Structure 1
Amino acid sequence: MNINTQLPIPSHFDSGKVGQVWRVPYQDRAVEAEDWAKQQGIQPAAEDKTRICLLIIDAQNTFCIPEFELFVGGRSGTGAVDDNVRLCEFIYRNLGAITEIAATMDTHTAMQIFHPVFWINDAGEYPIPAATNITLDDVQKGVWKVNPAVAYSIAGGDYPALEKHALHYVRKLSDDGKYPLIVWPYHSMLGGIGHALVSAVEEAIFFHNIARMSQTNFEIKGSNPLTENYSVLRPEVLQGYDGGPIAQKNDFLIQKLLDFDVLIIAGQAKSHCVAWTIDDLLTEITALDANLASKVYLLEDCTSAVVVPGVVDFTEQADAAFARFASAGMHIVKSGG
């Protein structure tokens, strides 16, 4: 990987603020970025001979700030914060080599199949988020049922159709060997602070945008109420109970990513959205040309697994996935080189 890690880190970067939320002073940073590019001899991205893309997955407050809904602490307890310190430093040190940054944005509203309000039991209770898996057996036995009240907003009032979809959905997850449907806390809510990128990461991305004259590529995922969307490349389920499409692969992004000479991947969480995205990318690569895997680099120290102490630890699953990606020809690297 042709990456120059010798650039200094601009003085505005404060690693102690990476775990906090604050407003990026865009105009100040824009002026500084233009001056920085001149001082460091950084050329516009259009002049790159080797085109490098950095794909940052879901570096949002909801996953990366300790007091937010789904903070990815990893086994250390500070995982996502530490990861983002290294990620910001990686962007600044390699500012002159990264051609484009693509940032995915997990994007949700309240009434979605993985949020509590979608489901209800006979007592009229919603499932407890992060502690409830809804299995095929649960739905078949009526342990959990679709909340009739949500049909008005997301199914045009057709409750029977929504019931059929729910049963089909959990059966499809089971048949495909995927994780069971997890009921998550409300998170990455569109319009909320949790949806926003971590301030320090957003600042680094904006600085890169101006310094390299390279528009950041923001990719929205997860807004379909009828399916999960861990991977930015495709939702978990594409078809409804009647065989009709409910979602589709992001073929445009797949092709765009594979057109780069080098693709670097970081973000959260290693065990879920990162692993799912890489797995889908590998599927596409295998179908086209297995040798393309060699252009993919995974920043292992800029991603952490989901760990809820005493409840669940996905570290081993995440490490196993990365080992499989490495066996396929992808490179597992550290952000420092």
Structure 2
Amino acid sequence: MYNQNTTQLPIPAHFHPEQVGTVWRVPYQQRATEAELWAKQHNILPASSDEKRVCLLLIDVQNTFCIPEFELFVGGKSGTGAVDDNRRLCEFIYHNLGLITTIIPTLDTHTATQIFHPIFWVNHAGEHPTPAATSITPADIEAGIWQVNPKIASSINSNYELLTKHAYHYVKQLSQDGKYPLTVWPYHSMLGGIGHALVSAVEEAIFFHCIARQSQTQFEIKGNHPLTENYSVLRPEVLQSFDDSPLANKNTCLIQQLLEFDVVIIGGQAKSHCVAWTIDDLLTEIQQIDANLAQKIYLLEDCTSPVVVPGVVDYTEQADAAFAKFAAAGMHIINSTEIISNL
């Protein structure tokens, strides 16, 4: 299904690889005009005419994760991981513009008072945990090392006693489910902030695709519930609160939609966290329906990097193990230089 010998579409002149790691304003009307001309020049048909439907699912390709000096830049082993990934991703979109039916970018979306941000927790001295360097376990709460900040309960419409019960249940559930422990992250992907926005070069490529193929970009919000993490776009880390009441729901509409595409291609950040968790949840759904459906999932390995903080954490091994698991289940691991063909 992938053939490197197939002729690629050229990359438009407006794309400048050296700008991928910077933030700037996309000139929408200019790009729209150019995209319509580009479609005519290269005989690019509307997506509605596609006989086989190809989805490009992009996980959290946002400034907060992808621009150096932003809050949670994913540098990977090289130190420039997300920038290099996004350069290749933009080129992949432009080269395969006429074959990608729908692009679905996910947007990690947060406010300050959430369970994984410093303000949510305090110690006996009233100090907040150090972000990125602090994980909170059930034992930490039992020992009184960390407790829920009583001053924030009313701001999330919660009784403090119930909130503390939920917090303990939450970290305990993460441990029982074999998830990463609750990490206190720096404030990131803040709704309304520049870090929440898509990387400018990727946004431009997605917009160009939308106009050229007359295919609406489908944005998917995740992570805005104050009492649970949402590494995966398909479901929160914990579904039920301490009293078994529903906490948050799976994204059943998106799951069904993805499984109806003929091909789903996945890239984004970070390979060890939000990308791996999303793919893992998709695989779980596939295996409950028909394990053969895994064969229509393609993972852009050179468009994703693991979380690596030199001297602190390195999730490369976990990320590689996850991708090996996905490949063993029937998913395809590819590079962005491989061209979609014979659809």
Normalization by structure 1: what TM-score?
A: 0.99
1:103 aligned to which of 102, 105, 120: 105
Distance (Å, rounded) in 2 between the aligned partners of 1:284 and 1:140: 35
Match runs of 1:62-77 below 5 Å: 62-77=64-79
Match runs of 1:108-257 below 5 Å: 108-156=110-158, 158-257=159-258
1:299 aligns with 2:300: yes
2:236 counterpart letter in structure 1: P
Cα distance change of structure 1 residues 315 and 253 upon mapping to structure 2, 3 Å threshold: same
Greater than 2 Å deviation, 4+ residue runs: 1-5
Q: What's the CA shift string for 1:69-90, capped at 9, x where partnerless?
A: 0000000000000000000000
Using the TM superposition, give the Cα deviation of residue 124 of structure 1 relative to its aligned residue in structure 2, in angstroms: 0.8
Correspondence for 1:91: 93
Q: What's the CA shift string for 1:5-54, capped at 9, x where partnerless?
A: 61000000000000000000000000000000000000000000111000
Q: Number of matched residues?
A: 336
Match runs of 1:44-59 below 5 Å: 44-59=46-61
1:326 counterpart letter in structure 2: A
Contact preservation (8 Å) 1:72, 1:269 = yes
Distance (Å, rounded) in 2 between the aligned partners of 1:167 and 1:153: 19
Distance (Å, rounded) in 2 between the aligned partners of 1:29 and 1:20: 18
Distance (Å, rounded) in 1 between the aligned partners of 2:217 and 2:142: 45
Q: What's the CA shift string for 1:251-298, capped at 9, x where partnerless?
A: 000000110000000000000000000000000000000000000000
2:43 counterpart letter in structure 1: G
Q: What's the CA shift string for 1:137-188, capped at 9, x where partnerless?
A: 00111110000011011134x1000000001001100111111000000000
Distance (Å, rounded) in 1 between the aligned partners of 2:33 and 2:2: 28
Distance (Å, rounded) in 1 between the aligned partners of 2:142 and 2:287: 36
Distance (Å, rounded) in 2 between the aligned partners of 1:36 and 1:2: 24
What secondary structure is seen at the aligned counterpart in 1 of 2:86? helix
1:245 counterpart letter in structure 2: P
Distance (Å, rounded) in 2 between the aligned partners of 1:159 and 1:7: 58
Correspondence for 2:320: 319
Correspondence for 2:274: 273
Distance (Å, rounded) in 1 between the aligned partners of 2:181 and 2:311: 20
Using the TM superposition, give the Cα deviation of residue 2 of structure 1 relative to its aligned residue in structure 2, in angstroms: 5.3
Using the TM superposition, give the Cα deviation of residue 92 of structure 1 relative to its aligned residue in structure 2, in angstroms: 0.2
Distance (Å, rounded) in 2 between the aligned partners of 1:99 and 1:140: 51
Distance (Å, rounded) in 2 between the aligned partners of 1:100 and 1:315: 30
Distance (Å, rounded) in 2 between the aligned partners of 1:46 and 1:151: 48
Q: In angstroms, what is the RMSD of aligned CA positions?
A: 0.8
1:48 counterpart letter in structure 2: D
Correspondence for 2:341: none
Distance (Å, rounded) in 2 between the aligned partners of 1:84 and 1:323: 22
Contact preservation (8 Å) 1:122, 1:143 = yes
Distance (Å, rounded) in 2 between the aligned partners of 1:82 and 1:248: 34
2:17 aligned to which of 2, 8, 15: 15
Distance (Å, rounded) in 2 between the aligned partners of 1:141 and 1:241: 19
Q: Percent identity?
A: 74
Distance (Å, rounded) in 1 between the aligned partners of 2:70 and 2:329: 35
Correspondence for 1:82: 84
What secondary structure is seen at the aligned counterpart in 2 of 1:217? coil
Using the TM superposition, give the Cα deviation of residue 123 of structure 1 relative to its aligned residue in structure 2, in angstroms: 0.9
Distance (Å, rounded) in 2 between the aligned partners of 1:101 and 1:87: 12
What secondary structure is seen at the aligned counterpart in 1 of 2:229? coil
Distance (Å, rounded) in 1 between the aligned partners of 2:116 and 2:329: 32
